[in-house]
Amino acid sequence: MHWLPIFAALMSVTLVGCATTRPATYLVDTKGPYQLDTGDIVRVTVYGDAELSKSYKVDDKGAIAFPLVGPVPVRGATTEDAARRLARALSNGYMRNPDVAIEVDQYRPFFIQGEIKTAGQYPYVYGMTVRAAVSTAGGYTETADRDRAVVYRRQGNEMAKGAVDLDFPIFPGDTIVVQERWF
């Protein structure tokens, strides 16, 4: 009986070396209005001109190619800011007091990879979470960590990485990585 406390202390010291740590968690920003970027499709309405009112895709340079005025940069802009930029460009010799509205017609896709059944790119639906993204990709593999995932998100000119739970909101353009669980 005298050896039992010594044995327990020795075992606990030995097991401490076997402990694993989770990957570092980084802040991933979830606040603020939606900002346009490459791959988004926007619906432009120019009141009084039905020929200009249609959908336009944000190109690789972050601009929409608009008739009469050419490329209008919209990357990083909200839909309201993009509408003001386009109205300003149209008022520069093409229209008098243009009234322009822009709304997102189709969001850029999100990407998912790792321990899920069908990795790839999928269309984003407003309000998606990691859980919904996993379901969209066919669910987990048998070895998947079913409690968390890693989300990569562009923030300005940098890529942010964060370990998140399944109810974390994702945005268009995010890359979700479902990792293998460790037994």
Tokens of 94: 């093409």
Q: 43-66 in b/e burial notation, b at 16+ Cβ within 10 A?
A: ebbbeebeebeeebebeeebbbeb
- Assess whether pLDDT exceeds 80 at residue 23: no
pLDDT of residue 158: 86
pLDDT, one tens digit per residue, over 100-152 is: 999 999 999 999 999 999 999 999 988 899 999 999 999 999 999 999 999 99
- Assess whether pLDDT exceeds 50 at residue 43: yes
- Assess whether pLDDT exceeds 50 at residue 16: no
- Who's near 108: CB < 8 A, 6+ residues apart? 37, 38, 39, 40, 58, 124, 172, 173
Ordered by where they begin, the domains of the chain are 23-29+108-178 (3.10.560.10), 41-106 (3.30.1950.10)
Q: With bands split at pLDDT 50, 70 and 90, how would you rate the model's confidence at 19?
A: very low
pLDDT of residue 155: 80
pLDDT of residue 12: 52
